[in-house]
């Protein structure tokens, strides 16, 4: 979602402009100034801070926002109790919008879940989510957002985690199953050879681990009128991997995104 906000800024949406970012591990190539730490950010006209990074950055970010009196949009999840307390305190000092999910569809789902819970007071409610097997925060921020919203109309409801599929038999079945993840590799229509090589190595590792790879390109600005360039980038990338991968889904353009799915080639 952060990339979408940046794309809107780069497109000049309603005059929006990204004047800088903070990233201690920036690799370069950004279209805006990146600082290693909030203390490095000079005094400047900043209308708003938007954060889609990681919850461990929240305390320093809020200290900076309060010190500069900057309205903040906070979109991170998995906060500790101490970080949540800091967020609540910051909201008393600066304009602060905080949500675990910024999707319009999820916002609608939250409202529908509340209405359903209120209309069916005797019914059990179970939230089931599926992620890749390396998901760090479970339940996710979105799942907790739904549960917390339901609890506003079911005040006596209790959270019970891990109900679905927790029988011994089901655990044993899953333990013996081969889990196939779909990894994502992001390219660009103007990607440099060195960056292609980095993405190639990452995709090679994923495929050799038995996972599928979703290759995506996001067209910026007028690039969409020359989508054939992105198609050539996709074809070249697939050809580089042809010894270990097959194209499961050919490049498909949806809006400003072009995607392709590669699958590991079966051993003969």
Residue 113 in 3-state DSSP? helix
Point out the catalytic residue in the list 36, 131, 132, 265. 131
Task: Quickly state the pLDDT bin for 128 (edges 50, 70, 90).
Answer: confident
Distance CA 187, CA 237 (A): 9
Distance CA 262, CA 207 (A): 8
Write down the pTM of the prediction: 0.52
Residue-level pLDDT at 121: 86
Q: What would the DSSP string read from start to end of 200-245?
A: HHHHHHHHHTT-EEEEEEE--GGGGGGHHHHHHHHHHHHHHTTTTE
Mean per-residue pLDDT of the chain? 86
**Non-local CB neighbours of 188 within 8 Å, separated by 6+ positions:** 217, 218, 220, 233
Per-residue pLDDT for 181 more than 80?
Answer: no
Point out the catalytic residue in the list 135, 205, 208, 226. 135
**CA-wise closest residue to 20 among 51, 41, 43:** 41
Kindly list the structural domains of the chain, giving each domain's residue range(s) and its CATH number in brackets, ordered by start. Answer: 2-98 (3.40.50.720), 104-172 (no CATH), 182-264 (3.30.110.10)
Asked whether 200 and 241 are in contact (CB, 8 A), the reply is yes
Burial profile 180-200: b = 16 or more Cβ within 10 angstroms, e = fewer: eeebebebbbebeeeebeebe
- Look up tokens 């198609």; give the residue: 231
| Residue 40 phi, psi (nearest 5) | -85, -15
Using CB atoms within 10 A of its CB, is residue 90 exposed (0-12), middle (13-18) or buried (19+)?
buried
Per-residue pLDDT for 182 more than 70?
Answer: yes
Residue-level pLDDT at 131: 63
Residue-level pLDDT at 3: 78
| Across 139-143, 152-156, 226-230, least confident range | 139-143
Using CB atoms within 10 A of its CB, is residue 266 exposed (0-12), middle (13-18) or buried (19+)?
exposed
- Give the H/E segment covering residue 142: helix 141-151
Q: What tokens appear for 159 in the block?
A: 């959270």
What does the chain come to in residues?
A: 268
pLDDT, tens digit (0-9, with 9 covering 90-100), for 39-71:
999 988 899 999 988 888 999 999 999 999 999
Does 164 qualify as catalytic in the annotation? no
Does 131 qualify as catalytic in the annotation? yes
Per DSSP, what are the bridge partners of residue 51? 74
């Amino acid at each position: 979602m952060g990339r979408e906000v940046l794309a809107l800024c780069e497109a000049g949406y309603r005059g929006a402009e990204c004047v800088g970012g903070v990233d201690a591990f920036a690799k370069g190539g950004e279209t805006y100034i990146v600082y290693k730490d909030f203390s490095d950010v000079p005094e400047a006209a900043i209308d708003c801070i938007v954060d889609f990074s990681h919850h461990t950055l929240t305390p320093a970010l809020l200290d900076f926002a309060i010190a500069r009196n900057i309205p903040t949009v906070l979109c991170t999840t998995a906060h500790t109790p101490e970080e949540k307390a800091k967020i609540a305190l910051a909201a008393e000092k600066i304009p602060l919008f905080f949500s675990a999910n910024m999707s319009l569809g999820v916002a609608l789902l939250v409202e529908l879940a509340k209405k359903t819970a209120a209309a069916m007071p005797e019914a059990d409610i179970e939230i089931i989510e599926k992620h890749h097997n390396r998901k760090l925060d479970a339940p996710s921020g979105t799942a907790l957002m739904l549960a917390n919203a339901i609890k506003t109309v079911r005040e006596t409801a209790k959270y019970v985690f891990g109900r679905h599929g927790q029988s011994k038999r089901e655990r044993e079945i899953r333990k013996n199953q081969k889990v196939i993840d779909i990894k994502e590799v992001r390219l660009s229509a103007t990607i440099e050879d060195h960056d292609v090589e980095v993405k190639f190595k990452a995709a090679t590792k994923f495929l050799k681990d038995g996972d599928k790879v979703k290759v995506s390109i996001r067209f910026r600005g007028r690039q969409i009128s020359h989508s054939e360039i992105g198609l050539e980038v996709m074809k070249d990338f697939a050809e580089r991997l042809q010894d270990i991968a097959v194209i499961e889904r050919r490049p498909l353009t949806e809006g400003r995104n072009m995607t392709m799915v590669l699958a590991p080639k079966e051993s003969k």
